[in-house]
Every structure is written in structure tokens, then in C-alpha cells.
């Protein structure tokens, strides 16, 4: 547990709170959101895996700022919270913009 672990978890909570309490696009209750997120997750593994592989890393992490758990391959598990929050934010903002356009 470290700063990255904590901020990654907080980012997910903040994004979910923005969606559920403020924007209320309803995206979290749709099939297309969860199917899309599953596909995104599937592609995160090779891309993130390439960036973080310990044999020849592009991104280097301070192990003290995270749990140190890396899976699959050498991906810090915090990256999955980071990615989930970021992509969910993008999708919620996108749908919110569409509502504004049609409003």
C-alpha cells in the first residue's frame, strides 16, 4: 500500500461518485458499457504489459508507493484501477456530452 495504491483507488471512487451522484448518465447500468470495459481490459494487458515489463521497462515505478503486486506479467495491479477510472470517466463524459447536445 502506498501513494499510487491510494490515489488509484480514490480515482475510481471519485469517478463512480461523479457518475452516480451528479451526471447520472446511467451508463453503468448498460450492457454496452460493461462489454466495452471487458474488451478494454483485454487490450490493457498487452499494452500495459509492454510498458511495465521489468525485463525492459518503459515506465518505472517506485515500489514503495504501491502494493508491489504485479499481475499478469509485471503490470502493477494499481494500473487496473487507474485504467478503469480513466476509461469510465471518458465514457461518462462522452455520454453526458451527447445528452447536452440533444437537450
Question: CB of 39: closest distance to another protein in angstroms?
Answer: 5
Q: Is 55 in the site for another protein (CB under 8 A)?
A: no
Question: CB of 96: closest distance to another protein in angstroms?
Answer: 8
The only residue of 22, 43, 54, 71 in contact with another protein, by rule CB under 8 A = 43
Helix axis angle, 31-52 relative to 78-102, nearest 10°?
Answer: 140
Q: Is 21 in the site for another protein (CB under 8 A)?
A: no
Q: Residue 76 gets which letter from DSSP?
A: B
Residue 93: exposure state from Cβ atoms within 10 A (0-12, 13-18, ≥19) = middle
CA distances from 1 to 26, 55, 100 (A): 32, 23, 40
Q: Is 18 in the site for another protein (CB under 8 A)?
A: no
Residues within the interface to another protein (CB under 8 A): 2-4, 7, 11, 25-27, 29-33, 35-36, 39-40, 43, 47, 50-51, 57-62, 65-66, 83, 86-87, 89-91, 93-95, 97-99, 101-102
Amino acid at each position: 500500500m502506498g501513494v499510487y495504491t491510494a490515489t488509484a483507488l480514490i480515482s475510481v471512487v471519485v469517478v463512480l461518485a461523479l457518475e452516480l451522484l451528479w451526471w447520472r448518465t446511467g451508463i453503468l447500468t448498460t450492457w454496452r458499457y460493461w462489454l466495452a470495459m471487458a474488451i478494454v481490459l483485454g487490450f490493457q494487458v498487452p499494452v500495459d504489459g509492454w510498458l511495465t515489463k521489468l525485463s525492459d521497462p518503459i515506465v518505472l515505478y517506485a515500489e514503495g508507493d504501491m502494493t508491489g503486486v504485479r499481475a499478469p506479467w509485471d503490470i502493477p495491479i494499481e494500473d487496473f484501477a487507474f485504467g478503469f477510472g480513466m476509461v469510465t470517466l471518458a465514457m461518462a463524459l462522452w455520454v453526458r456530452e451527447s445528452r447536452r447536445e440533444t437537450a
